[in-house]
């Protein structure tokens, strides 16, 4: 599909020139829409296909023109590539980023290109934003299609998508603007999990605790995800489900998330103190009054908004409580791998967060059974929880634990959907030119990767304007990106540095010669 | 045989303790009395002029007794010296005679007639004295040289009504006072003579009996787990009081209930057996645990014939006059004497029995599995049986799918016990002891040796207050050729986990949880285990498709890397590429170049494989593997490249038929590619 990236540019410019793409009407630098290609195919019913549009205050005609254009591009590119239609359209003033979240359910993000240097993004990173918001949505509400099937009028899905995506975008807002992942975040990978490295004895204690959690609901096995600070300690879920739950936990559940604002170093893009405080002020602007959300009067009554801020708190018994799902109601989420709905219980001891997923079949008597499970956790698990917390806090290296001096790196394991990177504070010391070079490098690798489905080994070195080295090594599903700013280094020195990094920190995975 | 005793003697009834056929028969014509020399463990039968003695340690009915001749005369008590060269006979309350067995020398020791009388005597291995004579006025300690010259070393002045002494505790208790409840104790150990603090025994009074008197038969000295206890019957209160002796204190440690007006005790394998003689039952207590609850319910003491095939024939013979049960045994007959620690002398039938425990029956009647395992791990006499029972219990716990916490507890017990026995050196030492036969006498044992053995026989760690006691049962341990019941992690893997795997394959979640706990337990004790358990864990996790956890287990090294594990990962990775990659990574990290390269080629990564082979100079992988893979992929450039690399890598490659074949194929297909 990649060759289309360039071809279509010309086509789009014609459209833009024809005035069909009236993008600037609202003055917003970002537009995000969700639409269903199976709907509104008859003239006069075009509005049907719109499931979500941001910003919400633009006229229907503007919305229709964006969606109409996107639809046209999808239809057009499908002629050449029926399996995978367009991913991105680069126009002179805008980038259109496409994501087919579910069959015929499309998410499109339109970002304005302006002269500001900060507005340099990597398409793949923007696509990951779309993927993330969608998979989080599915985790809480089920697939878009299933909600459409439930209520073909589309009211139900719209009433769910609107607050959900708006709440999600809140996390991205800085001041009055939405901050999209720019080149400054190029040494981060959205949609992956950051893990805590465990010593064997700690890992055994953790696994022993997981064993106890497994059997907290009797014979039906419970799944669990454990986090320490904002890092994953263990999971019994598939990588996909783990990523979703991990993302949500770091956004809303971990000790750092609860004591919002104290964490300024998190690996994730989770709002820093800046965005956290500002989001509150911007919230009415984005959402209107939160009470006046469209309720649509359907039988579900109220719409659950799991991404709302400051809705979780730690109860006296150590379990986290929220009224998002209603008063005294236990949250439920949808597990992708197992295709089942589970109850979510979160327990916190100091910086250790346990997310326990109880199969709905195990909860027959509602809150009575829930409190039984909670009792089981405290009864059988407390000693082990204390032990695990003790072990982890002893081995805790602090926010810069995974900093390797002299290196700024990003390590991605696509198989396990795991990444590790230099701490943001350290990455921030890199020169702008270096970051831009790494961003460019990553774009190149993205392109290479999407060209062939097969896993290929590759190595790319780029010398930046400031003489820094940006190096990428990819081998069998694992990727290493690295910025080396020692200007005197030759290419040989640089590759030697990568080599020794690979040997020391990656078990020699990237040692190529 | 009276029919009433028939049921209790039969081999089919339930019991936890039993007497085992054959007995040691000591029926000498014209016998005038049977004695037991507990220091030498000799059963002694005397006639008017002869002394017959049997070794009870070996307990071999076929061995004939050794016979000594001594002058005629009354015999109140008789004991061999610890080197067995001298026989000492108490003739009256003021005379002890000594006979040298080799030189036939004779010596007579007398005390002041009238003013004091001799209550008894015993030989000692303390460095201070060789002989102690207890008199109503106190205790005289004598040194005795090889020429049998007695030299008074020290006198302990105490008014004594009666005394008790056991050689295994080296402790003598002297009772004084009107009720005989004031006790003065001395330990004549290899470390010297230690006077214990005087203490009063507890005696309840009733209206009918305001001044009960303690008789020597009411007091028992026992040695369990290297600790010394005194047990005292308080008939008015129907309690058996226990006192534990420390170096500088005597502490009462609870009481056991009594269900009989007559009572005696035995110690078997560090367990206390209280014979409730009227009720004809025996109750077993384990003083190691703080609880004074019995190990099991009261059950009769039974008589058993040969184990195994003989049991059936025994039952057939019931009621008839069987050749093997010629003696008419009546359980807890009046003529029974209970000897320290585990012997019963039947004066009527002139036979000696040893009391045995039926560990199997005890385990069968116990419901608390982890306490039972702890109990079995403390057993030494039948270590192998205890071990087998433990393994059986562990297997059953898993197969019955008991809650993981229960199984974990059980595993912890076994692992901790093993770790302890390795640290204490018991696990290996006992194996050595089997080969080096040490004489069970006092001579060879230096104080250090004795002490070491004493602590070795004790699982307890309270050494700060423990008296340094030679373990009386050390001799016995050697005799029964025991090893420790401790189970090594390897054995646990082999006889528990591996043996249940097949049955539990559909419950692999559960089994993995148990194995994790096991690994945690052995890791906490810094022990190692057969790496096959990791192979098994990989198999189980893959079976239940828990790939995420398999990856965590591997990266966190809960599953320790090894070639076997890597190959299992590759095999299990047939279903999941991620798992296969874990196996490949492990091979590479272990520098198993040959396996790594072969697996890469197998996965179609022949270029990567070849590059790796070139880098590591690995030539052991068949070159045809690369060539065939490249040829199959139909990429002639690759094939050409491979031919060239191989020519450089393998000397003489260009002369092989393989080179010729593929070079030919290359030329046929494409003439444009140069090699």
* Contact across the interface for B548 and A235, Cβ inside 8 Å: yes
Q: What are the backbone dihedrals phi and psi of residue A225, each rounded to the nearest 5 degrees, phi first? A: -135, 130
Beta bridge partners of B152: B142
CA proximity to A139, closest of A353, A338, A417, A413 = A338
Complex-level ipTM? 0.85
Residue B361 Cα distances to B140, B355, B358, angstroms: 47, 15, 5
Predicted confidence (pLDDT) at residue B320 exceeds the cutoff of 80: no
Residue B182 Cα distances to A510, B135, B173, B200, angstroms: 83, 16, 10, 5
- Tokens 């009227």 -> residue: B278
Residue A427, min C-alpha distance to chain B (Å): 26
Q: In this predicted structure, what is the pLDDT of residue B472?
A: 41
Which of A204, A242, A508 lies nearest to residue B558, judging by beta carbons? Answer: A204
User: What is the overall mean pLDDT for chain B?
Assistant: 83
Is B319 in CB contact (< 8 Å) with chain A?
A: no
- Token pair belonging to A440: 């460019």
Predicted confidence (pLDDT) at residue B374 exceeds the cutoff of 90: yes
Is A444 in CB contact (< 8 Å) with chain B?
A: no
Contacts of A335 in chain B (CB under 8 A): none
* Contact across the interface for A204 and B551, Cβ inside 8 Å: no
* Contact across the interface for B558 and A513, Cβ inside 8 Å: no
- % of chain B with per-residue pLDDT over 90: 49
pLDDT digits (tens, 9 = 90+) for A418-462: 999 999 999 999 999 999 999 999 999 998 888 877 777 889 999
Mean pLDDT for the stretch of residues A468-477: 92
* Contact across the interface for A215 and B519, Cβ inside 8 Å: no
Beta bridge partners of B154: B141
- Tokens 């050390």 -> residue: B474
Mean pLDDT for the stretch of residues B228-255: 92
CA distance B400 to B450: 45
Beta bridge partners of B98: B88, B107
**Type and span of the H or E element at A277:** helix A273-287
Is A57 in CB contact (< 8 Å) with chain B?
A: no
- Token pair belonging to B674: 């140069």
Which of B517, B519, B551 lies nearest to residue A416, judging by beta carbons? Answer: B551
Predicted confidence (pLDDT) at residue B322 exceeds the cutoff of 80: no
Non-local CB neighbours of A445 within 8 Å, separated by 6+ positions: A458, A460, A472, A474, A479, A481
pLDDT digits (tens, 9 = 90+) for B7-23: 334 445 788 998 887 78
DSSP label of A319:
B
pLDDT digits (tens, 9 = 90+) for B590-606: 999 999 998 888 888 88
DSSP label of B309:
T
Q: Least CA distance to A513: which residue of chain B? A: B615
Mean pLDDT for the stretch of residues B624-632: 81
CA distance B53 to B37: 9
Mean pLDDT for the stretch of residues A122-151: 95
Which of B 542-601 lie inside 8 A of A, CB atoms?
A: 546-549, 551-553, 556-558, 577-578, 581, 585, 588-589
Q: In this predicted structure, what is the pLDDT of residue B98?
A: 93
* Contact across the interface for B509 and A205, Cβ inside 8 Å: no
Residue A126, min C-alpha distance to chain B (Å): 27
Range from B322-326, B460-464, B577-581 that averages highest in pLDDT: B577-581
Non-local CB neighbours of A298 within 8 Å, separated by 6+ positions: A151, A155, A156, A159
Entry field: residues in chain A: 513
Mean pLDDT for the stretch of residues B266-289: 93
The pLDDT-based confidence of B428 (bands split at 50, 70, 90) is: low
Q: How many CA atoms lie within 13 A of A254 on its CB side?
A: 26
Mean pLDDT for the stretch of residues B245-274: 92
- % of chain B with per-residue pLDDT over 70: 85
Predicted confidence (pLDDT) at residue A10 exceeds the cutoff of 80: no
Is B253 in CB contact (< 8 Å) with chain A?
A: no
Predicted confidence (pLDDT) at residue A36 exceeds the cutoff of 90: yes
Tell me, letter by letter, the H, E, C secondary structure of B159-227: CCCEEEEECCCCEEEEEECCCCCEEEEEEEECCEEEEEEEEECCCCCCCCCCCCCCCHHHEEEEEECCE
Contacts of A509 in chain B (CB under 8 A): 585
CA proximity to A90, closest of A30, A4, A17 = A4
CA distance B234 to B259: 12
Predicted confidence (pLDDT) at residue B510 exceeds the cutoff of 60: yes
Contacts of B605 in chain A (CB under 8 A): 476
* Contact across the interface for B581 and A507, Cβ inside 8 Å: no
Which of B506, B541, B552, B615 is the best residue to mutate to test the A interface, defined by the most A CB atoms within 10 Å of its own CB?
B552
CA distance B487 to B261: 43
CA proximity to B31, closest of B351, B354, B355, B325 = B351
Alpha helices in B11-104 (DSSP H): none
Predicted confidence (pLDDT) at residue B359 exceeds the cutoff of 60: yes
CA proximity to A73, closest of A12, A140, A158 = A12
Distance of CA B583 to the CA centre of its chain: 42
Q: In this predicted structure, what is the pLDDT of residue B606?
A: 82
Residue B486, min C-alpha distance to chain A (Å): 23
Q: Which residues of A110-149 are buried (b: 16+ CB within 10 A; e: fewer)?
A: bbbeeeeeeebbbbbbbbbbbbbbbbbbbbbbbbbbebbe
Predicted confidence (pLDDT) at residue B439 exceeds the cutoff of 60: no
The pLDDT-based confidence of A508 (bands split at 50, 70, 90) is: confident
Contact between residue B531 and residue B429 where contact means Cβ atoms under 8 Å apart:
no
Residue, of B291 and B50, whose pLDDT is higher: B50
Q: How many CB atoms lie within 10 A of CB B279?
A: 17
Which of B404, B549, B615 lies nearest to residue A513, judging by beta carbons? Answer: B615
Which of B524, B541, B556, B633 is the best residue to mutate to test the A interface, defined by the most A CB atoms within 10 Å of its own CB?
B556
């Amino acid at each position: 599909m990649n060759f289309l990236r360039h071809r279509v540019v010309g086509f789009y410019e014609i459209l833009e020139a024809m005035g069909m793409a009236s993008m600037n009407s609202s003055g917003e630098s970002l537009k995000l829409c969700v639409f269903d290609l199976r709907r509104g195919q008859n003239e006069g019913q075009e509005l049907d296909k719109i499931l979500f549009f941001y910003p919400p205050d633009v006229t229907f005609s503007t919305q229709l023109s964006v969606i109409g254009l996107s639809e046209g591009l999808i239809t057009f590119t499908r002629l050449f590539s029926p399996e995978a239609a367009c991913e991105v359209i680069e126009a002179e003033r805008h980038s259109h980023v496409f994501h087919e979240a579910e069959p015929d359910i499309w998410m499109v993000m339109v970002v304005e290109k302006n002269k500001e240097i900060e507005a340099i993004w990597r398409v793949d990173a923007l696509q990951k934003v779309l993927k993330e918001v969608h998979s989080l949505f599915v985790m809480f509400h089920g697939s878009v299609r299933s909600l459409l099937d439930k209520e073909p009028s589309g009211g139900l899905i719209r009433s769910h998508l609107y607050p959900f995506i708006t709440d999600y975008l809140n996390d991205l807002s800085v001041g009055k603007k939405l901050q999209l992942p720019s080149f400054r975040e190029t040494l981060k990978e959205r949609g992956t999990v950051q893990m805590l490295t465990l010593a064997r004895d700690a890992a055994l204690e953790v696994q022993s605790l997981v064993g106890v959690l497994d059997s907290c609901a009797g014979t039906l096995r419970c799944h669990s995800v454990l986090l320490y600070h904002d890092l994953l300690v263990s999971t019994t879920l598939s990588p996909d489900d783990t990523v979703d739950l991990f993302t949500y936990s770091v956004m809303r559940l971990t000790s750092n998330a609860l004591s919002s604002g104290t964490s300024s170093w998190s690996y994730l893009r989770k709002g820093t103190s800046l965005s956290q405080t500002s989001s509150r002020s911007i919230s009415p602007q984005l959402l209107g009054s939160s009470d006046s959300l469209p309720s649509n009067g359907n039988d579900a009554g109220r719409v659950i908004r799991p991404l709302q801020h400051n809705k979780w708190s730690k109860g006296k018994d150590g379990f986290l409580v929220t009224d998002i799902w209603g008063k005294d109601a236990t949250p439920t989420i949808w597990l992708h791998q197992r295709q089942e709905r589970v109850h979510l219980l979160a327990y916190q001891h100091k910086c250790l967060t346990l997310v326990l997923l109880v199969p709905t079949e195990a909860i027959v008597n509602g809150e009575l059974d829930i409190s039984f499970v909670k009792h089981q956790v405290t009864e059988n698990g407390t000693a082990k929880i204390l032990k695990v917390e003790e072990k982890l806090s002893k081995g805790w290296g602090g926010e810069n634990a995974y900093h390797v001096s002299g290196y700024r790196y990003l390590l991605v394991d696509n198989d396990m959907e795991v990444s590790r990177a230099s701490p943001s504070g350290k990455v921030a010391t890199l020169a702008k030119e270096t970051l831009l070079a790494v961003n460019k490098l990553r774009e190149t690798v993205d392109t290479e990767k999407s060209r062939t489905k097969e896993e290929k080994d590759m190595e790319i070195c780029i010398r930046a304007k400031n003489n820094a080295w940006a190096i990428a090594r990819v081998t069998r599903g694992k990727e290493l990106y690295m910025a080396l700013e020692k200007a005197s280094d030759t290419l040989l020195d640089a590759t030697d540095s990568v080599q020794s990094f690979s040997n020391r920190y990656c078990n020699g995975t990237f040692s190529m010669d | 045989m009276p029919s009433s005793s028939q049921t209790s003697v039969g081999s089919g009834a339930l019991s936890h303790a039993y007497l085992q056929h054959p007995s040691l028969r000591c029926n000498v014509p014209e016998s005038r009395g049977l004695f037991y020399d507990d220091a030498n463990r000799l059963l002694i039968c005397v006639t008017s002029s002869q002394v017959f003695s049997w070794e009870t340690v070996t307990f071999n009915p076929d061995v004939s007794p050794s016979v000594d001749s001594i002058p005629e005369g009354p015999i109140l008590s008789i004991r061999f010296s610890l080197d067995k060269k001298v026989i000492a006979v108490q003739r009256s309350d003021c005379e002890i005679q000594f006979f040298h067995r080799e030189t036939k020398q004779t010596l007579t020791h007398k005390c002041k007639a009238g003013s004091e009388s001799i209550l008894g005597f015993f030989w000692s291995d303390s460095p201070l004295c060789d002989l102690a004579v207890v008199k109503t006025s106190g205790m005289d300690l004598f040194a005795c040289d090889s020429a049998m010259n007695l030299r008074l070393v020290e006198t302990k002045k105490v008014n004594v009504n009666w005394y008790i002494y056991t050689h295994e505790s080296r402790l003598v208790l002297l009772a004084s006072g009107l009720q005989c409840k004031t006790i003065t104790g001395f330990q004549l150990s290899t470390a010297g003579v230690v006077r214990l603090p005087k203490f009063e025994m507890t005696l309840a009074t009733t209206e009918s009996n305001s001044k009960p008197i303690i008789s020597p038969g009411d007091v028992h000295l026992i040695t369990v787990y290297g600790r010394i206890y005194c047990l005292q019957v308080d008939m008015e209160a129907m309690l058996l009081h226990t006192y534990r002796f420390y170096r500088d204190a005597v502490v009462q440690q609870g009481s056991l209930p009594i269900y009989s007006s007559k009572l005696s005790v035995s110690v078997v394998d560090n367990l206390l057996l209280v014979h409730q003689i009227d009720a004809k039952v025996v109750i077993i207590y384990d003083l190691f645990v703080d609880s004074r609850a019995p190990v099991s319910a009261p059950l009769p003491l039974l008589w058993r014939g040969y184990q195994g095939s003989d049991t059936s024939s025994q039952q057939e013979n019931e009621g008839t006059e069987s050749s093997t049960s010629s003696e008419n045994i009546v359980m807890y007959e009046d003529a029974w004497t209970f000897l320290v620690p585990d012997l019963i002398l039947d004066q009527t039938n002139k036979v000696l029995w040893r009391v045995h425990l039926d560990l199997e029956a005890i385990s069968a009647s116990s419901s608390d599995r982890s306490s039972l395992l702890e109990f079995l791990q403390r057993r030494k006499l039948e270590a192998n049986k205890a071990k087998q029972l433990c393994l059986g219990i562990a297997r059953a716990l898993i197969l019955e799918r008991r809650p993981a916490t229960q199984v974990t507890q059980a595993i912890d017990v076994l692992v901790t016990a093993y770790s302890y026995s390795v640290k204490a050196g018991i696990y290996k030492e006992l194996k050595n002891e089997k080969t080096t036969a040490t004489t069970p006498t006092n001579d060879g044992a230096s104080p250090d040796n004795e002490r070491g053995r004493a602590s070795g026989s004790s699982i307890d760690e309270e050494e700060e207050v423990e008296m340094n006691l030679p373990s009386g049962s050390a001799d016995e341990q050697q005799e029964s050729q025991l090893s420790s019941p401790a189970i090594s992690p390897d054995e646990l893997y082999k006889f528990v986990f591996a043996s249940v795997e097949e049955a539990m394959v559909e419950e692999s979640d559960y089994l993995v949880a148990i194995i994790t706990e096991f690994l945690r337990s052995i890791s906490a004790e810094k022990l190692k285990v057969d790496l096959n358990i990791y192979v098994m864990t990989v198999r189980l996790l893959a079976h239940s498709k828990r790939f995420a956890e398999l990856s965590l287990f591997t990266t966190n090294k809960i599953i320790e890397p090894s070639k076997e594990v890597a190959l299992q990962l590759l095999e299990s990775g047939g279903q999941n590429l991620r798992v296969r990659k874990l196996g490949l990574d492990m091979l590479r990290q272990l520098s198993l170049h040959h396996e790594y390269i072969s697996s890469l080629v197998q996965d179609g990564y022949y270029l990567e494989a070849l590059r790796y082979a070139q880098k590591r100079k690995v030539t052991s992988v068949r070159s045809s593997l690369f060539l065939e893979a490249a040829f199959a992929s139909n990429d002639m450039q690759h094939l050409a490249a491979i031919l060239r690399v191989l020519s450089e890598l393998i000397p003489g490659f260009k002369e092989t038929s393989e080179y010729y074949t593929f070079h030919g194929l290359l030329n046929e297909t494409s003439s444009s590619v140069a090699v």
